[in-house]
Structure 1
């Protein structure tokens, strides 16, 4: 694994800070992951929530707000979260499912080692 960003070739920060850029790149713990625009939008919501739970409905409304009359099934959120989890696991970032309520980003102090 290189200590340089694959995009800009700058040194990667090696800390628990989660950095999102506009292009769907996530940096954390000296590692990089690339997300689709939907995955990036969902992760942005979870980061902005500051570890508070966001419901599936809130997440769906946010990423499909331009299609209010034709949204996809609510279960698509679960699929996106599964993809995000797989991509962020090597970075040490975890998303918790709060049963019956939704999802939240776990604070660094609550995360299990990757």
Structure 2
């Protein structure tokens, strides 16, 4: 059973990291430990579940490399876009401002 919502889960094959389809809780099949915040799957590096993930060591290292790459990529995107957003924010705010649009229509010489 899922340790969070108690729904029955069947494992036929595959890895020991389980995700409940009902509540999306992630846990270890063997010891039922919470793995929701273990994005690097370090739970399977030591303790009673060591090397029981069901994947090769190379596969786990590749997974960790991908996670780090995604996090670094998101960080680079945030660093590049944040100054651009700061520079563009007055234009974005002004274009959206309804007060300015109303004033422009009143003073627009093409409407008279």
> Shorter chain as normaliser: what TM range?
0.3 to 0.5
Larger radius of gyration: 2
* TM-score of the aligned structures, taking structure 2 as reference length: 0.32
Higher helix residue share:
2
Q: Which has the higher contact order (CA 8 A, sep 6+)?
A: 1
Higher strand residue share:
1
